[in-house]
Amino acid sequence: MPRNANKYYWFCQIGGWAFLALVIIVLSATSFEQQITNKFILNTLIVALSGMFSTHLFREVIRYSNWLPLPVEKALPKFIIGILLTCITGSLVRIFLGDILQLVSSSSMKNGDFMGRLVAMTAEYGIMIIPWTLIYYVYHYVETGRKQQLDTLKLEALVKELELKTIKAHINPHFIFNALNSIRALIDENPIRARTAVTELSNILRSSMQAEKLETVTFEKELNIVKDYLALEYIRFEDRLQVEYEIDEDTLDQPIPPMMLQTLVENAIKHGISRQVGGGKVRIVSDFKDNFHELVILNTGRLNTSREMDGFGLASTKNRLQILFGQKANFDIREVNGNTVQARVLIPVDLHK
């Protein structure tokens, strides 16, 4: 048991029985007109000490026998027997101390009188120990539930963190070698464009490294990386690649998962444009729809569900969205208008922001 919890237990144990002794004295003096003598105070103190001793023993039995995690129907019979034995223990200690300190007359030592005192005191302690047991059990029941809930939340947070790390670990640019080959071809032909291309590639790689540390980035930052990516791909495809943007400027500060847009655009190039003899068009749309930030990536091509839908990048996109933004976030990819593939992302907008 943690040290603070043990201190709290003793504070409650000593404070509770001391308060009970004080209540007995005050009620006896006011309601029952009992004469408060040193003998009466000492006897009341023995009641409290005996109760504290017996309940502490009961607590040790509960902890050692591990009764608290048991279902109520299994724990109840054990607690009933435990309460009875605790009451008898407290009564025996009280009788023993009372006789040692001569708080009762010598005639009370007779066996018949002893049994009567034991039964009477056991009943008295039952009135005190039953509430003690209920308080102890309910406290630990609530505390255990709270700890389990906290552990569950910590576990869920850890699982989400591991999922995000696993997903991010698989999200890396697949076009690096193509980009390097394109840059090498440009070095002699167009040195200025080659230097710009190196900067664009550097920006993408830097963003990919930072994605390991960031949960979200602004859409504007991600869009700039995508523009660098498309500029590099244009070197390879030239006029076969057409790019259009339809961006609502109010969406630029909206949070999105890092590298998500880049992954979707890369997928559009790899599975769409690169397979078209005459090339095609990539169109990026960002707008608000109802209470969502809607991102749409359209590319010329046909949807190959057996390969594209099973790809890790696409499969992970929906998982990332729901981990970061909840179950309302969504992602789908489908074929529209016969020769166009649409990847659509919906992210809930924080209206209280």
Q: What are phi and psi of 230, to 5 degrees?
A: -65, -30
Residue 353 has pLDDT above 80, yes or no: no
Measured between alpha carbons, how far is 51 from 13 in angstroms, rounded to an integer? 10
The confidence band for 184, taking pLDDT boundaries of 50, 70 and 90, is confident
Residue 171 has pLDDT above 50, yes or no: no
Candidate ranges 95-99, 242-246, 278-282, 301-305; pick with highest mean pLDDT: 242-246
- Architecture of the structural domain at 171-348: 2-Layer Sandwich (3.30)
How far does CA 142 lie from the centroid of its chain?
Answer: 18
More confident residue, 106 or 158: 158
| pLDDT at residue 312 in the model | 46
Give me the sheet containing 292-300, strands edge to edge: 241-247, 280-289, 292-300, 340-348, 330-336
The confidence band for 344, taking pLDDT boundaries of 50, 70 and 90, is very high
Closest C-alpha among 21, 26, 11 to residue 51: 21
Read off the amino acid at residue 127. Answer: I
Reported pTM: 0.51
| pLDDT at residue 110 in the model | 43
The confidence band for 3, taking pLDDT boundaries of 50, 70 and 90, is low
The confidence band for 326, taking pLDDT boundaries of 50, 70 and 90, is confident
> Which tens digit of pLDDT belongs to each residue from 286-299?
999 988 999 999 99
More confident residue, 293 or 319: 293
Measured between alpha carbons, how far is 166 from 301 in angstroms, rounded to an integer? 30
Residue partners of 242: CB distance under 8 A and separation at least 6: 279, 280, 281, 282
Residue 321 has pLDDT above 90, yes or no: no
> Which tens digit of pLDDT belongs to each residue from 18-75?
888 888 888 877 776 667 778 888 888 888 899 899 999 999 998 888 888 888 888 8
Residue partners of 12: CB distance under 8 A and separation at least 6: none
Query: Is-contact 90 53, C-beta < 8 A?
Result: yes
Read off the amino acid at residue 76. Answer: L
- Average pLDDT value for the chain: 81
The percentage of the chain sitting over the pLDDT mark of 90, rounded to a whole number, equals 19
Angle between helices 72-100 and 111-170 in degrees, nearest 10: 140
- Across 216-240, b (16+ Cβ under 10 Å) vs e yields bbebebbbebbbbbbbbbbbbbeee
The confidence band for 351, taking pLDDT boundaries of 50, 70 and 90, is low
| pLDDT at residue 81 in the model | 92
Beta strands 280-289 and 292-300, pairing class: antiparallel
Tokens representing 306 are 């057996």
Measured between alpha carbons, how far is 345 from 244 in angstroms, rounded to an integer? 18
Residue 106 has pLDDT above 50, yes or no: no
Measured between alpha carbons, how far is 206 from 262 in angstroms, rounded to an integer? 13
> Which tens digit of pLDDT belongs to each residue from 120-138?
888 988 888 999 999 888 8
- What residue segments make up the domains of the chain, in order of their start? 3-158, 171-348
| pLDDT at residue 254 in the model | 93
Read off the amino acid at residue 174. Answer: H
By CB neighbour count within 10 A (0-12 exposed, 13-18 middle, 19+ buried), where does 325 fall? Answer: buried
| pLDDT at residue 105 in the model | 44
| pLDDT at residue 198 in the model | 87
177: left (phi over 0), alpha (psi -120 to 50) or beta: alpha
The percentage of the chain sitting over the pLDDT mark of 70, rounded to a whole number, equals 82
Q: Which residues are registered as beta bridge partners of 330?
A: 346
Q: Cβ of 264: how many Cβ atoms within 10 Å? A: 23
| pLDDT at residue 111 in the model | 45
Interval 99-127 mean pLDDT? 70
